């Protein structure tokens, strides 16, 4: 490939035509910093240093324009002209193809020709000149390996091109069609910017194998970098695309809002509106401060922000609350009395309590409202009493059912940090009432639940304490609200489930059940007129006699209240309405005899007093939520048995009463004329019908004692006598509750004598006079009085024979007569 011309004139400056390798020649040297020139590549260069320009000019003055390019070692950091020691020994012989001068610099295009090795430096000033020799062509050691490396390199180039879609196709062609491996490797070396160190390594490679190996390594690294770069770039692109998309959507939303007339000016108007309303509203100072703060926060938020609406709702709520609005109480006591009487029959003490309170308010307007708690069976009128209290006082009425509420947050609200937070029921009721002094009825306070989320009863403690509730803080509102003017009325069916601290805060007013006589009055005054009205009748069209109402109350309903009674009267009314609408008649008078026709056969047969009781059975009285009832305690001896068997769904307390009764009788057996051996010889079974109804409580103690005493003595319990009272092991009789209901029930059942604990005598005042007149009431303080009063004197059923010895147990049927004789 080299030319035939082989002159090597060492005297003349320009070298002759390049020689085959080995023959040294002198040549000007251009030191290159930061780049390496490879053979077989064409490279543009800019030359500015005077020494370099001198070297180039020396090359240009030669016949062939040849120049040696040698790189400066990268670790040599001299700022001036490069010295020979700073240069590598291997460089490239280049041919200057183009040159132009631009001001003081020379722009060159050079073409790399051969690798050269510098042998010695022959000149340093004004430019470097070296004696060099051309290095032999690279030889191929392993052809297959070179081919494989070449293909790998081409594969890598293809990979790189895949990441660079902007490279035009013709360029791809040029790159991929370079099939000479050496040329390809040198080309890669020149374009990859590997750094002088690596480039020099490639330049100094002496075999094609080595060169290809290095080129492959370096290229692989580059491709990896390109891959990473493109990955990072595409991720960044994705991010940008998302932001772009959001922006576009927001712009569209803005446009839509503008179309709908909800543009930004609307937002401003909303805030301004709220500000105006705040200015007008009569708010306490701290509330105003908080509201202003929230409003200015809201103004800073875009309408799209979720917080914007939270604050808006909150401010709306603050504005709607009656911070300082109170309704004026009606302080005409006579008028209030009239309203109460009009709505409710009897219940004198409740009415008195209301009137007392109104009197206090009249004298001292800033008095705290009382907190009442009505306790009574369903249908006795607790809720309607609350309504009529509100009516009598001229206050707003708000009812709030607590039945099943088991989350403190329901009463006191959620904090606003929660999504969908709402104020509690108390504050919501106040807002609905639109005044800060309504009558607020907390219905079914005994049905409050509690679970791990909190105990609503505990929240009620604050609400119902007049000392604390003037600064009641709802979680949502987060501002104290004065509840002290609210007239709280709680209702409950039972006091038991109400936690003691809560019970303690309320003034408990028990609404006892109604007697038949009271029911008659209530029916005549309220229920019948209302049902007549509801069924589209006129008072002239339907008339129900007192006897008929009493019959309905006793045989068709069983309750302490009047709800069932009203419903039954309603049924009657509908039947009558049907007849009148059908034109069968113009007016109906319902008498006791007609009830069957309208309502069918009687539904309930109250436990009637039994005409005759065998020994061992006593009549007791019980209290239920439905009112009072009588029940029978039955006991019988079990020959050969032992201990006490108790059946009839009796609760723990009642079972203990039974054991106490037996033990008392046992320990005082002689006193009652019983042989103590009876207790050892016979087992006792005690049963209390109806067996399916669970019963509990201490008040049956007296009855059980009477039944057992009767059983052991053989003296029957008087059938006209019913009794109640708790007993102690020392023989005392303690008072019990529910006297009114019990006595009324006993009276209904046809009992004439009632045995009561002496300390319950005060309760008798509640019993209507007419009932009391028909009853003989026997107050007792000790068990022996009970036994004396309840049992007949006559031994009607003599107790069975007694077995005295252990051996006697084995022959139970024998020798009974003499033993009884002995006992007597």
Partner 1 sequence: MSGKSLERYFRSIQNSREKRPSGRLWCPAADVYRTDEGWIVKVDLAGIQPADIEVMIDGPVLRISGLRRDGICGEGVYHYQLEITYSRFEKMIQFPRSIEHASIDRDYRDGLLILRLKEEQEESHKGRARAAGRK
Q: In this structure, what token pair is assigned to residue 765?
A: 């005042």
Q: Please say which residue, 194 or 486, places its beta carbon nearer to partner 1.
A: 194
d(CA 388, CA 330): 13
d(CA 628, CA 54): 130
CA atoms within 13 A on the CB side of 477: 27
State the nearest-atom distance from the C-beta of 270 to partner 1, in Å.
53
State the nearest-atom distance from the C-beta of 188 to partner 1, in Å.
9
Q: Please say which residue, 98 or 348, places its beta carbon nearer to partner 1.
A: 98
Q: Please say which residue, 96 or 460, places its beta carbon nearer to partner 1.
A: 96
State the nearest-atom distance from the C-beta of 72 to partner 1, in Å.
19
Catalytic residue among 65, 150, 351, 742: 742
Sequence-distant (6+) residues with CB within 8 A of 671 are 784
State the nearest-atom distance from the C-beta of 202 to partner 1, in Å.
14
> Is the N-terminal amide bond of 738 cis, ω within 30° of 0?
no
Q: Please say which residue, 13 or 669, places its beta carbon nearer to partner 1.
A: 13
Sequence-distant (6+) residues with CB within 8 A of 507 are 353, 370, 371, 372, 373
Phi, then psi, of 354 in degrees rounded to 5:
-65, -45
C-beta atoms surrounding 525 within 10 Å: 14
Q: In this structure, what token pair is assigned to residue 511?
A: 């609404």
State the nearest-atom distance from the C-beta of 178 to partner 1, in Å.
6
Torsion-angle region of 697 (φ positive above 0: left; ψ -120 to 50: alpha; else: beta): left
State the nearest-atom distance from the C-beta of 56 to partner 1, in Å.
9
Q: In this structure, what token pair is assigned to residue 128?
A: 């470097």
Establish whether 699 is a catalytic residue. yes
Catalytic residue among 52, 515, 681, 699: 699
Using only the alpha carbons of the chain, give its radius of gyration: 56
State the nearest-atom distance from the C-beta of 118 to partner 1, in Å.
19
Sequence-distant (6+) residues with CB within 8 A of 590 are 542, 543, 544, 545, 548, 572, 576, 598
Q: In this structure, what token pair is assigned to residue 786?
A: 């009970």
Q: Please say which residue, 11 or 144, places its beta carbon nearer to partner 1.
A: 11
State the nearest-atom distance from the C-beta of 99 to partner 1, in Å.
4
Q: Please say which residue, 174 or 268, places its beta carbon nearer to partner 1.
A: 174
Q: Please say which residue, 14 or 381, places its beta carbon nearer to partner 1.
A: 14
Q: Are 784 and 755 in contact (CB under 8 A)?
A: no
State the nearest-atom distance from the C-beta of 187 to partner 1, in Å.
4
Q: Are 616 and 634 in contact (CB under 8 A)?
A: yes
Q: In this structure, what token pair is assigned to residue 427?
A: 């504050």
State the nearest-atom distance from the C-beta of 199 to partner 1, in Å.
11
Q: Are 373 and 386 in contact (CB under 8 A)?
A: no
d(CA 183, CA 181): 5
d(CA 183, CA 113): 11
Q: Please say which residue, 23 or 255, places its beta carbon nearer to partner 1.
A: 23
Q: In this structure, what token pair is assigned to residue 57?
A: 């000019």
Which residues on adjacent β-strands are paired with residue 549?
Answer: none
Collapsing DSSP to helix, strand or coil, 712 comes out as: helix
Q: Please say which residue, 186 or 556, places its beta carbon nearer to partner 1.
A: 186
Q: Please say which residue, 3 or 246, places its beta carbon nearer to partner 1.
A: 3
Q: Please say which residue, 171 or 305, places its beta carbon nearer to partner 1.
A: 171
489 burial class (0-12, 13-18, 19+ CB within 10 angstroms)? buried
State the nearest-atom distance from the C-beta of 139 to partner 1, in Å.
16
What is the residue-wise DSSP string for 407-430?
A: -HHHHH---TTSTT----HHHHHH
Residues that bind partner 1 in the complex, under the rule CB under 8 A: 1-5, 14, 17-18, 39-44, 57, 60-66, 95-101, 109, 111-114, 160-161, 164, 166-168, 170-171, 174-175, 178, 183-184, 186-187, 190-195, 222-223, 225-226, 229
d(CA 333, CA 326): 20
Q: In this structure, what token pair is assigned to residue 594?
A: 């007609």
**What is the per-residue burial (b if ≥16 Cβ within 10 Å, else e) of 612-641?**
ebebbbbbbbbbbebbbbbbbbbbbbeeee
d(CA 329, CA 787): 57
Which residues on adjacent β-strands are paired with residue 31?
Answer: 70
d(CA 582, CA 574): 12
Q: Please say which residue, 170 or 282, places its beta carbon nearer to partner 1.
A: 170
Q: Please say which residue, 62 or 750, places its beta carbon nearer to partner 1.
A: 62
Q: With residue 577 as reference, give the H or E element that holds it.
A: helix 563-581
Q: Are 430 and 321 in contact (CB under 8 A)?
A: yes
Q: Are 298 and 308 in contact (CB under 8 A)?
A: yes
Q: Are 67 and 28 in contact (CB under 8 A)?
A: yes
Angle at 803 between CA 800 and CA 806, to 5 degrees: 155
For the beta sheet containing 507-511, the strands, ordered from the edge strand earlier in sequence to the opposite edge, are: 397-401, 439-443, 487-492, 371-376, 507-511
d(CA 521, CA 346): 10
State the nearest-atom distance from the C-beta of 31 to partner 1, in Å.
19
Between the CA of residue 240 and those of 164, 166, 247, 513, 708, what are the distances in Å?
20, 20, 10, 77, 93
Establish whether 816 is a catalytic residue. no
Helix axes 208-260, 143-162, angle to 10 degrees: 10
State the nearest-atom distance from the C-beta of 14 to partner 1, in Å.
8
Active site residues: 699, 742
């Amino acid at each position: 490939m080299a030319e035939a011309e082989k002159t090597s004139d060492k005297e003349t400056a320009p070298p002759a035509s390049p020689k085959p390798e080995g023959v040294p020649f002198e040549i000007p040297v251009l030191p290159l910093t930061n780049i390496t020139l490879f053979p077989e590549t064409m490279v543009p260069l800019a030359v500015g240093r005077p020494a370099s320009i001198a070297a180039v000019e020396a090359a240009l003055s030669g016949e062939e324009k040849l120049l040696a390019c040698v790189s400066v070692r990268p670790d040599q950091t001299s700022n001036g002209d490069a010295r020979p020691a700073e240069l590598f020994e291997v460089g490239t012989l280049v041919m200057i193809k183009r040159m132009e001068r631009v001001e003081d610099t020379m722009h060159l295009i050079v073409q790399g020709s051969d690798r050269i090795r510098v042998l010695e430096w022959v000149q340093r000033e004004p430019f470097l000149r070296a004696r060099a020799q051309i290095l032999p062509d690279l030889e191929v050691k392993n052809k297959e390996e070179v081919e494989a490396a070449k293909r790998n390199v081409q594969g890598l180039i293809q990979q790189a091109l895949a990441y660079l879609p902007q490279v035009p196709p013709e360029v791809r062609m040029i790159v991929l069609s370079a099939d000479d491996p050496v040329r390809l490797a040198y080309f890669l070396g020149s374009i990859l910017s590997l750094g002088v160190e690596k480039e020099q390594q490639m330049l100094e490679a002496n075999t094609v194998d080595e060169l290809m190996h290095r080129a492959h390594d370096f290229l692989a690294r580059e491709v990896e970098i390109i891959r990473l770069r493109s990955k990072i770039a595409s991720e960044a692109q994705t991010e940008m695309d998302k932001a772009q998309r959001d922006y576009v959507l927001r712009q569209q939303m803005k446009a839509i809002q503008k179309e709908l007339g909800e543009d930004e000016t609307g937002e401003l108007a909303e805030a301004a509106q709220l500000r105006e309303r705040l200015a007008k509203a009569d708010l306490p100072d701290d509330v105003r401060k908080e509201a202003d703060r929230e409003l200015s926060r809201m103004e800073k938020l875009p309408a799209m922000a979720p917080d914007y609406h939270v604050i808006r709702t909150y401010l709306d709520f603050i504005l709607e609350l009656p911070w300082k609005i109170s309704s004026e109480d009606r302080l005409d006591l006579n008028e209030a009395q009239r309203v109460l009487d009009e709505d409710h029959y009897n219940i004198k003490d409740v009415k008195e309590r209301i009137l007392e309170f109104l009197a206090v308010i009249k004298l001292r307007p800033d008095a705290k409202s009382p907190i009442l708690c009505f306790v009574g069976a369903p249908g006795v009128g607790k809720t309607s009493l609350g309504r009529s209290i509100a009516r009598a006082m001229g206050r707003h009425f708000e009812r709030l059912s607590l039945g099943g509420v088991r989350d403190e947050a329901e009463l006191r609200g959620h904090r606003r940090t929660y999504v969908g937070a709402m104020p509690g029921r108390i504050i919501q009721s106040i807002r609905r009432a639109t005044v800060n002094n309504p009558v607020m009825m907390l219905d079914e306070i005994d049905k409050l639940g509690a679970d791990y989320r909190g105990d609503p009863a505990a929240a009620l403690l604050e609400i119902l304490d007049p000392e604390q509730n003037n600064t009641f803080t709802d979680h949502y509102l987060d501002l104290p609200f004065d509840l002290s003017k609210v007239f709280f009325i709680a209702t409950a069916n039972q006091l038991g489930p109400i936690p003691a601290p809560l019970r303690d805060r309320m003034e408990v007013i028990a609404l006892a059940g109604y007697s038949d006589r009271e029911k008659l009055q209530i029916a005549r005054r309220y229920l019948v007129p209302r049902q007549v009205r509801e069924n589209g009748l006129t008072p002239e069209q339907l008339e129900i006699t007192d006897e008929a109402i009493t019959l309905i109350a006793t045989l068709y309903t069983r309750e302490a209240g009047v709800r069932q009674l009203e419903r039954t009267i309603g049924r009657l009314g509908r039947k009558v309405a049907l007849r009148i609408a059908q034109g069968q008649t113009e007016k109906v008078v319902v008498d006791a005899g007609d009830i069957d026709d309208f309502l069918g056969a009687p539904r309930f047969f109250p436990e009637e007093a039994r005409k005759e009781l065998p020994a061992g059975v006593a009549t007791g009285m019980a209290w239920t939520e439905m009112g009072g009832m009588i029940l029978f305690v039955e006991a019988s001896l079990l020959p050969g048995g032992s201990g006490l068997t108790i059946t009839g769904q009796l609760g723990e307390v009642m079972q203990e009463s039974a054991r106490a009764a037996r033990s008392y009788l046992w320990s005082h057996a002689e006193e009652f004329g019983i042989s103590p051996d009876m207790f050892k010889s016979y087992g006792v079974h005690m049963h209390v019908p109806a067996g399916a109804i669970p019963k509990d409580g201490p008040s049956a103690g007296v009855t059980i004692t009477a039944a057992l005493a009767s059983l052991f003595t053989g003296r029957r319990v008087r059938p006209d006598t019913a009794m109640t009272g708790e007993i102690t092991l020392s023989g005392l009789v303690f008072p019990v509750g529910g006297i009114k209901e019990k006595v009324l029930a006993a009276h209904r059942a046809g009992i004439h004598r009632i045995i009561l604990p002496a300390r319950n005598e005060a309760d008798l005042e509640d019993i209507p006079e007419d009932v009391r007149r028909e009853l003989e009431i026997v107050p007792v303080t000790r068990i022996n009085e009970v036994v004396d009063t309840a049992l007949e004197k006559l031994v009607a059923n003599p107790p069975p024979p007694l077995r005295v010895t252990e051996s006697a147990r084995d022959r139970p049927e024998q020798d009974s007569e003499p033993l009884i004789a002995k006992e007597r």
